[in-house]
Amino acid sequence: MKKKHNKIKSLYRMLCYAFKALLETGIANVAAEECDNVHDLFAAILALGVGAQIKRGMHRFYVQKQEDLAGLRGKINVSETIKRETLSRGKLVCRFDEFSTDIPHNQALKSVLLLLLRHGNVRNDNKKAILNLLPYFSDVSDVDPASIKWDTLTYHRHNSSYEMLIGICRLTVKGLLLTNELGSHKLASWLQEEQMHLLYQNFLLAYYKHHHKEYSPSAARIFWDVKTGERGEHLPVMKTDVTLEKGKRRLIIDAKYYSYGPWRKHYDRKIFLSANLYQIYAYVKNSDKYAAGHVAGALL
């Protein structure tokens, strides 16, 4: 139990760095010590975060609607009015814009809150907190969490407070959601490896940016060391997870996350995965174009 609890606390620390808003708001005070599984941790974060967002005001935007109305509102959809013969009932088919909370960002929040409530291993106090939030989403459409187009959700100064909340929602769906052939949902007991890898990668860069700005941390791109005139358009893009620089010195860190460890069995011994070694070697070799020995690499 203690090992499992430490795993949850480690995950929470990574989330705090990867989603900077967790460090900057009261959400960082979420009682991670009381959460013994990832479902409960995400439910606690979202319950606090969405509650704070509701107090600030849920984001709204103009949504186009079409309804049969007794009076004129917006524009008349003439073809639909004639086709459906609504005039015989004293109504017009009208298209109009409504300033509504029924927008994709709020749909995503509601979808994941319901997902955790219905399918998650969540403590009763966090379930109650989620239930208390749902009435504020009464005008928001129910959507299947698997259908959410996360990359289309954009942020600006009016809805920037949503970015962390949507990030947690996306991690919940991408990392935990399992859908069987019948379309019913089930949540995994731990984040899938691909999502843990991305989280670990984001955590490392955010950690260095927070604690070691003197090394100018970045996810820098490395260009292939090919001679002028040689064709390099078919070569893959090299982008580091973390690059640290000070003076002439540079350290390239490549983040790897494996549930089974970064090695494979070879007879009676373990050896590191060769692809990882080749990758960090390619980064260092092409970054140190003049072979001055100022570039080093690390697999973390």
pLDDT in tens, 111-147: 999 999 999 999 999 999 999 999 999 999 999 999 9
Q: Residue ranges of the domains in the chain? A: 2-59+102-191, 64-99, 196-299
pTM of the model: 0.79
Q: Tokens representing 166?
A: 């949507």
**Residue 229, phi-psi category: left (phi > 0), alpha (psi -120 to 50), beta (remainder):** left
Determine the Cα–Cα distance for residues 288 and 297; give it in Å rounded to an integer: 11
Nearest by Cα to 101 from 131, 58, 134: 58
Grouped pLDDT means (10 residues each) for the chain, 300 residues: 72 87 63 77 92 92 80 82 87 83 95 94 93 96 93 91 93 86 77 91 94 95 79 81 95 89 72 87 92 92
CB 75 within 8 A of CB 92: no
Please state, in angstroms and rounded to a whole number, the distance separating the CA atoms of residues 223 and 255.
19
